[in-house]
Amino acid sequence: EAGATVTELTLEQMNAVGIELGTIEMKELTNTLKANGVLQVPNRNKATVTALFAGTVTSLPIQEGNFVRKGQVIATIVNPEYIRIQEQYLTAQSRIAFAEKEHRRQQELYNNDAGARKNLESAAAELRSLTTERAAAARQLQMMGINPSSVTNQNLRNGLAVTAPISGVISRIDAQIGSYVDTSLALAEIVDNTSLHLDLKVFEKDLPKLQVGQIVHFKLANIPDTEYDAEIYSIGSSFESDSRTVAVHCTVIGNKKGLIDGMNVTGIVSLDRSTAPAVPNEAIAEADGKYYIFVSAGKTANGSVRFEKVEVVKGASDMGYTAITPIKDISPKERIAVKGAFFINAKMSDVGEHDH
């Protein structure tokens, strides 16, 4: 025997620690399913901010946690190369004017049999080349946020505004003023938490208990007193790596304050209600991974109460009560300790240790 299964307590001891007697009751409890999960934001609601052209950061008017709107300027970078692109556009623009005149002149000479066909073809090719060069430079200027038609020799710009591609919260800043960035380096990351969802990891045997539309109550490890809600909108159809779990996708509803992409949570799904023998949570003690209640086995000659330790299998827990299935028959009329099981178990463990 690993330890004692019977112990005695005087009425004074029972009163001192608040042990109370009662009976196993029939209670209507809600069955629940517990599962771990992680909060996630869909990739379409996350954005890595990069510069389309390399340069040195000269302003960075954002901080982590700031909310930014799509199109809002979040950084300015400079590079003399920006001026060269504007020069390319202006040069192509002016050369096109000359090339168009030359093409018209060659066309007239050819029409009047006074010019060679190869001169006309050469003028046409030059005009096409310059038109392509101007279009490429114009497209680069548009990507830089510069209107090509507004570019003149008097207003060449060496700075480029980097704007937010989506609305959301700045979750990370990777650059600082003075740092050099290129197209492969991230300036910042933006996350739109309004579309936050919860991915629960549910074991295969529990999947039949779940369905779309069920409500999940979940808590964060670092804020155990606050409960949040989510609603199941999709149940996965494949196993996650080696865990033999399936992802159950839920939309977070209601309060989202304090919730961040990547947080680990514990979720509880309410299933059905059923009537079962139940005892207050304080009537159950845990030892070595098993659960026990303590049945009153009458009084001794000196008035002490004798308690017998009986193993039980726990069922649903709800409203302070837990459903139990004792591994041996217990009469509904038998008295049990409905409060203070932890103390009785500790006393019994002491007795067991002294017996060895």
Q: What pLDDT is recorded for position 313?
A: 92
Q: How far apart are CA 137 and CA 153, in angstroms?
A: 15
Q: What is the pLDDT of residue 176?
A: 92
Closest listed residue to residue 68, CA positions, set 178, 172, 146: 172
Distance CA 19, CA 217 (A): 33
Measure the CA angle with vertex 328, ends 324 and 330; round to 5°.
Answer: 70
Contact assessment for residue 261 and residue 220, using Cβ atoms and an 8 Å cutoff: no
Sheet containing 73-78: order of strands: 159-163, 73-78, 55-59, 180-181
Alpha-carbon distances of 211 from 246, 249, 266, 274, rounded to whole Å: 13, 11, 18, 19
Q: Provide φ and ψ at 69, rounded to 5°.
A: -100, 155
- Per the structure block, which two tokens stand in for 42? 């869909």
Percent with pLDDT over 90 in the chain: 34
Which residue in 313, 337, 353, 350 sits closest to 17, CA to CA?
337
For residues 168 and 243, the model is more confident at: 168
Residue with tokens 């007795």: 351
Provide the 3-class DSSP secondary structure of residue 80: helix
Measured distance CA(172)–CA(152) in Å, rounded: 37
- The H-or-E segment that residue 7 falls in is strand 6-9
Summarised one tens digit per residue, pLDDT across range 265-292 is 989 888 877 788 999 999 999 988 899 9
Taking a C-beta distance cutoff of 8 angstroms, is the pair 74, 62 a contact? yes
Tokens 């209640």 — which residue? 293
Residues near 129 by beta carbon (within 8 Å), at least 6 away in sequence: none
> Position of tokens 């090339």?
99
Q: How many C-beta atoms surround the C-beta of residue 205 within 10 A?
A: 8
End-to-end CA distance of the chain: 10
**What are the phi and psi torsion angles at 185 (to 5°)?**
-100, 135
Write the CA distances from 194 to 110, 170, 267, 282, integer angstroms.
67, 13, 20, 40
Asked if residues 112 and 104 have their Cβ atoms less than 8 Å apart, the reply is no
Please give the mean pLDDT across all residues of the chain: 87
pLDDT confidence of 356, banded at 50, 70, 90? very low
* pLDDT tens figures, 23-64: 999 988 877 888 899 999 988 999 999 988 889 999 999 999
Confidence label for 4 from pLDDT (cuts 50, 70 and 90):
low
Amino acid 2: pLDDT: 47
- Residue recorded with tokens 């009163």: 15
